[in-house]
Amino acid sequence: MAKPATTVTPNTWEFLRDPMITPTGFREYDARWTYPDEINLPGITALGLGLGTQMHRHGIDPVIAVGNDYRDYALSIKNALMLGLMQAGIHVKDIGPALSPMAYFSQFHLDVPAVAMVTASHNPNGWTGVKMGFDRPLTHGPDEMSELRDIVLTGAGEARPGGSYEFVPGVRDAYLNDLTRGFKMTRKLKVVCASGNGTAAAFAPELLRRIGVEVVESHSTLDYTFPNYNPNPEAMEMLHDMAASVKASGADFALGFDGDGDRCGVVDDEGEEIFADKVGVIMARDLSKLHPNATFVADVKSTGLFASDPELQANGVTADYWKTGHSHMKRRVKELGALAGFEKSGHYFLAEPVGRGYDCGMRVAVELCKLMDRNPEMNMSDLRRALPRTWVTPTMSPYCADTEKYDTLARIVAKLTVMADNGDQIAGRTIKEVVTVNGARLILDNGAWGLVRASSNTPNLVVVCESPQSDEEMRAIFADLDAVIRTEDSVGDYDQTF
């Protein structure tokens, strides 16, 4: 294979002929680029050839399930990827338009070793990428992504005979049947189903109706221009819209799904937005009654309640805080034999006997309905209020270029570590510990904390703060942490504040 150019020059003869790939698109646990500014279609084909070559190097059967999300350019991207895979001698099983978790499900349903899902996930239009994996239910982590990057960018992809194509119908219905099998609601439940006109619109309303839920549809018409907002249940714009729909309809709660359906956001019956880590604690409380002494994994952006909640402690729960990122979390859940993993961004990793260990917003929707069915006297707001009170910022992402963000973060972490060593205070409190498993999580003497890390998917840092004491303290933690972040000239504006 020709070595791809590392700069992309649209509207040239070469752009329609030669692979062009910006190297920064190879991220920690998947690949993402803006298209066509950072990758062209021959570049996507080179990616497919490289992925197929990687499959052969790992000695797995040369068969892969491939799907795509609902974007106007997703099919072109998928066709280019499949061409490269077939050039590498891979038998491609095309499952058609899909959610990422439907693609992961297809590995089990079709009994194939590998998966490649063409998706920009929750990123805005203009982005594309691939989530991929060889060891179900896991997806590529940093080691596999680094290996793939080297194969592709050095032109080491190897063409082989034997590649072929097969379209496989019926996977969507099998996926929905698997999610709904054996369960029907016994209490009346009215749920706002928000998909932001994204791929989940073709799944979520039908899924909920199948289990006996009354559905209030919100932006459920497929429209890849995303005319209302970008489907991202971590964004306040979508959460606010979900809250308005709950209040207008009198629904019991709202569920919102991102662009590829592997994440789920929740708004309760009072229109209160419950960040996903708190929803995780609610689910962990319920699941730990059914499965005492369970282990739960939470990402470093998540609330401290997984470790400190008295009810979880009474149920014998072991809490493990781990690296943010769907591949990191899936791998950690499997390594520890955990019952579930919870990520503040809205990824939930429900393992056996609840799920199969991969992140699936549809599975979460069904399990939340089951939870409400097991607690017929409770509203979602009752479950929220039953948690110990904490005050937490939304997830905020100041701009920092992909080429600079890791070096910038390293300097910020070093400054924060020096502050802790010197006995400096944050929000008037002593820094008890600096956890550096993924960026820096500063834990204060009362359990409050602030986090700064690098986004694995976009040119941003990520900042979250939480206080068990007050809104004022939460804001003070952010102000002091942001003051350190602002010492770096490479950090730009936040995508959202509070």
- Where residue 371 falls among pLDDT bands split at 50, 70, 90? very high
User: pLDDT over 70 for what percent of the chain?
Assistant: 100
Tell me: the pLDDT tens digits for 217-257?
999 999 999 999 999 998 889 999 999 999 999 999 999 99
- Where residue 196 falls among pLDDT bands split at 50, 70, 90? very high
CB 242 within 8 A of CB 254: yes
Q: What is the pLDDT of residue 286?
A: 98
76: Cβ–Cβ under 8 A, 6 or more apart, which residues? 41
- Where residue 392 falls among pLDDT bands split at 50, 70, 90? very high
- Closest to 464 (Cα-Cα) out of 475, 451, 477, 482: 451
Q: Decide if pLDDT at 1 tops 80.
A: no
Sheet containing 214-218: order of strands: 214-218, 190-194, 253-257, 264-268, 273-274
Q: What is the pLDDT of residue 457?
A: 78
| E strand segments, 227-362 | 253-257, 264-268, 273-274, 295-299, 318-322, 340-342, 348-350
Tell me: the pLDDT tens digits for 74-107?
999 999 999 999 999 999 999 999 999 999 999 9
DSSP code of 250?
T
Q: What is the pLDDT of residue 458?
A: 86
Q: Decide if pLDDT at 215 tops 90.
A: yes
75: Cβ–Cβ under 8 A, 6 or more apart, which residues? 68
CB 226 within 8 A of CB 258: no
Mean pLDDT of 414-422: 96
- Where residue 376 falls among pLDDT bands split at 50, 70, 90? very high
Q: How does the average pLDDT of the chain come out, rounded?
A: 96
Mean pLDDT of 279-286: 98
Q: What is the pLDDT of residue 195?
A: 97
Q: Decide if pLDDT at 404 tops 80.
A: yes
Q: Decide if pLDDT at 433 tops 80.
A: yes
Q: What is the pLDDT of residue 464?
A: 94
DSSP code of 199?
G
Q: Residue 402 phi/psi, 5° resolution? A: -55, -35
Mean pLDDT of 131-159: 97
Q: Decide if pLDDT at 497 tops 90.
A: no
307-315 contacts, C-beta under 8 A, 24 or more apart: 308/388, 308/447, 308/468, 309/281, 309/285, 309/387, 309/388, 310/388, 311/285, 312/281, 312/284, 312/285, 312/288, 315/285, 315/288, 315/289
- Where residue 415 falls among pLDDT bands split at 50, 70, 90? very high
Tell me: the pLDDT tens digits for 440-475?
999 999 989 999 999 987 899 999 999 999 999 999
